[in-house]
Amino acid sequence: MSFNCFCIRNMRRFATWISSPPAVSSSRLMPAICNRFADKSAAVRRTRAFSNHFSTERVSRKLVRNGEEKKLVVCIEGNIASGKTTCLEYFSKTSNIEVLTEPICKWRNVRGHNPLALMYQDPTRWGITLQTYVQLTMLDRHLSTISAPVRMMERSIFSAKYIFVENLYRSRKMPEVDFVVLSEWFEWITENIAIPVDLIVYLQSSPEICHARLKERCREEEKIIPLEYLEAIHQLYEDWLIKKTSFIIPAPVLVISADSDLPTMLHQYEENRGKILGARNF
Ligand code: TTP
Ligand code: MG
């Protein structure tokens, strides 16, 4: 089959799927788009990525699910200690908003093991272990049933990959084979499962401020984090969400400057309430 035929055939399948999408709440998995052609050629990959992006956009922004008005999903992003949890706690006081903080307690204790601490002690050995688990727990968060008109969640499966996995690999702490295996997992997930995100709120902060906050809060596993690590994470975030030069951005981005003290930050969150909650301003 020629490449053109292949593209047309898959676009037709998509048109059918879009006009009659599966009920996301009852069946989480989208059918594999082109499982008959599951080879790894660049052309096939590009087509699948495009198709998936297209379908996700349509599913998350335009369509209604099960006849109900679509729920809004907002991901709070930013460097370590940029204030994501504080932001979520602030909005958790608003009724009709469901807040999901990061599953960090799971990363610190999975059946008695602490992959977060292991990763900081020896990233080359344990980076893949932590990041595989982060990917699973974030996917689980994304796919859990939304119980309010608005969901706000800490981070996303996208930043785990585009920021943390990328950083481990670029800094040569993650072996290429680990990076490739994680990337295959990530690509399979994002190509075959609709992950709804409607808005990214980027808490933009300077690495120095984050470092100071990190020292203050003194989370045991993070005591050894140097400023350079936060600078690298910051740069990856800036490339992704501000310069838009690295990876696909799954939703529009709202940037909030996050270097100020707590009262000022809370004031800023209030000022941005309308933009964050969109039409659903409670
Ligand atoms: P953060 O996701 O930055 O959460 P936080 O609670 O520190 O941030 P905030 O103060 O803004 O609420 O990171 C939690 C820890 O998990 C941190 O040590 C970084 C680490 N981590 C990884 O190593 N890999 C990952 O993919 C993610 C998402 C976090
Ligand atoms: Mg947090």
- Each of the 282 residues of the chain gets a pLDDT tens digit; together they read 444 444 444 444 443 343 333 333 333 333 333 332 333 343 334 334 434 443 444 344 333 444 456 789 999 999 999 999 999 999 999 988 999 988 898 999 999 999 999 999 999 999 999 999 999 999 999 999 998 999 999 999 999 999 999 999 999 999 999 999 999 999 999 999 999 999 999 999 999 999 999 998 888 888 889 999 999 999 999 999 999 999 999 999 999 999 999 999 999 999 999 999 874 544
Give the pLDDT score at 45. 42
DSSP 8-state assignment for residue 243: S
Give the pLDDT score at 101. 86
CA of 164 relative to ligand 1 center, distance in Å:
9
* Residues 6+ away with beta carbon under 8 Å from 46: none
User: 222 CB less than 6 Å from ligand 1?
Assistant: yes
CA of 221 relative to ligand 2 center, distance in Å:
14
- Tallying the residues shown for the chain, one arrives at 282
The span from the CA of 21 to the CA of 63, in Å, is 9
Ion ligand 2 contact residues with beta carbon within 5 A: 84-85
CA of 73 relative to ligand 2 center, distance in Å:
18
Catalytic residue among 77, 98, 102, 154: 154
Ligand in closest contact with the CA of 214: 1
pTM score, whole prediction = 0.78
* Residues 6+ away with beta carbon under 8 Å from 13: 33, 34
| Top-level class of domain 71-277 | alpha beta
Give the pLDDT score at 280. 53
CA of 108 relative to ligand 2 center, distance in Å:
13
Give the pLDDT score at 277. 86
Give the pLDDT score at 223. 86
Ligand 1 pocket mutation pick from 86, 92, 104 by most atoms within 8 angstroms of CB: 104
154 catalytic? Reply is: yes
> What are the domain boundaries of the chain?
1-70, 71-277
Asked if 60 and 198 count as a contact pair (C-beta separation under 8 A), the reply is yes
Nearest CA to ligand 1 atom 3: 80
Burial class (CB in 10 A: 0-12, 13-18, 19+), 7: middle
